[in-house]
């Protein structure tokens, strides 16, 4: 139970940190290298299957977003 409470607190801090960082770029229209390094942990690009390719963006503090 103690571990779960600690993880929940860490998750809340991570979300708060991501929101703080993203607010810096609220008015920006184009992603640049500095913003990418500040917000994105890594990007996974899957193998091309016909005309479709899976792309997953792993954000710092938030985790994975798939398109």
Dump pLDDT digits (tens) for 27-50: 889 989 999 998 899 999 988 877
For residue 67, the model assigns a pLDDT of 52
Would the pTM of this model clear 0.85, i.e. be above it? no
Of residues 9 and 67, more confidently modeled: 9
For residue 42, the model assigns a pLDDT of 92
21 in helix, strand or coil? helix
5 in helix, strand or coil? helix
Task: Give bridge partners of residue 48 from the DSSP assignment.
Answer: 53
Q: How far apart are CA 51 and CA 1, in angstroms?
A: 47
């Amino acid at each position: 139970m103690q571990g779960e409470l600690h993880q929940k607190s860490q998750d809340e801090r991570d979300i708060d940190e991501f929101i703080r960082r993203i607010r810096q770029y609220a008015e920006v229209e184009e992603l640049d290298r500095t913003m990418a390094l500040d917000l994105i942990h890594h990007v996974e690009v899957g193998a091309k299957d016909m005309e479709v390719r899976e792309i997953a963006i792993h954000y710092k503090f938030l985790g994975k977003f798939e398109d």
